[in-house]
């Protein structure tokens, strides 16, 4: 069974953390409709969706990816870089317990799940404003017994590593070359259209990529490479610096 854990939107989302974007009004009703359509897309791709209740006073809690890294053998609970987000982890931990043993990133390290890109048995960790170098060492200590290697990855100009690079097919990355470093050169790559710098965030579910409809030029590049896409509108969620990977934890239960 492929499971997707999601979380309902907080009515406080207008107070979300922002790093690279200016604050804009967020239409809560429209954002909830986008989120529901995103969940329908997950269902259509064969996922069973488990939606957690909203964190009423947790503005960013819809972005469950930042709270945990779910591997085949274990789930690693993060310590988000924004102190206001650390309370979000509790509900995600409870949701994961039936499916995985859990480990935890400890202080003083901070790690957002959006900064971790898994490619095979390698975990690339972006050193961002939310994720620190001690987190790389801590994560390596936790996952090495399960055969994973961990590598620090340069990221610049964006919130998370997965804003700059995601896997869109086995061993193929979708990248914004302006926001990534030399580490991506070892991979087959599709580069985003230069007019669509935010288009590198894509969610691979099975053999299909869930992709924002806001980036048609980059979608054409994916389709020309034979990568199937399923479009969703996440324009309101994007105002909170959210994207398609942020809103779910997808794994084989």
Active site residues: 160, 246
Contacts of 97 (CB under 8 A, 6+ apart): none
CB-based burial label for 56 (10 Å; 0-12, 13-18, 19+): exposed
**Cα three-residue angle 81-166-212, rounded to 5 degrees:** 95
Distance CA 200, CA 82 (A): 23
Distance CA 4, CA 44 (A): 12
Q: How far is CA 118 from the centre of its chain?
A: 11
The pair of structure tokens assigned to 49 is 């969706």
Q: Is the peptide bond before 108 cis (omega within 30 degrees of 0)?
A: yes
- The secondary element (H helix, E strand) that includes residue 219 is helix 216-224
Q: If we measure between CA atoms, which residue out of 238, 252, 251 comes closest to residue 62? A: 238
| 224-233 own/partner pairs: CB under 8 Å, 24+ apart | 225/169, 225/172, 225/190, 227/168, 227/169, 227/172, 227/190, 229/202, 230/41, 230/44, 230/45, 232/34, 232/37, 232/38, 232/41, 233/34, 233/37
Distance CA 14, CA 16 (A): 6
């Amino acid at each position: 069974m492929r499971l997707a854990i999601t979380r309902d939107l907080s009515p406080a989302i207008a107070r979300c953390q922002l790093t690279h974007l200016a604050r804009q009004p967020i239409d809560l009703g429209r954002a909830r409709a986008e989120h529901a359509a995103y969940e329908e897309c997950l269902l259509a791709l064969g996922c069973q969706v488990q939606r957690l209740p909203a964190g009423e006073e947790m503005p960013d809690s819809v972005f469950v990816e930042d709270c945990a890294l779910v591997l085949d053998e274990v789930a690693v609970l993060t310590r988000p870089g924004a102190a206001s987000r650390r309370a979000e982890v509790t509900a995600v931990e409870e949701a994961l317990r039936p499916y995985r043993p859990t480990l935890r990133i400890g202080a003083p390290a901070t790690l957002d799940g959006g900064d971790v890109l898994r490619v095979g048995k390698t975990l690339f960790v972006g050193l961002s404003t939310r994720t620190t170098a001690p987190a790389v060492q801590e994560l390596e200590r936790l996952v090495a017994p399960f055969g994973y290697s961990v590598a620090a990855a340069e990221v610049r100009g964006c919130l998370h590593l997965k804003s700059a690079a995601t896997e869109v097919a086995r061993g193929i990355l979708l990248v914004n070359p302006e926001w990534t470093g030399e580490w991506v050169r070892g991979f087959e790559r599709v580069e985003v259209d230069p007019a669509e710098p935010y288009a590198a965030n894509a969610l691979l579910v099975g053999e299909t990529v869930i992709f924002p409809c806001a980036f048609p030029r980059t979608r054409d590049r994916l389709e020309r490479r034979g990568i199937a896409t399923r479009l969703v509108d996440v324009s309101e969620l994007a105002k909170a610096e959210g994207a398609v990977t942020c809103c779910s934890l997808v794994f084989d239960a």
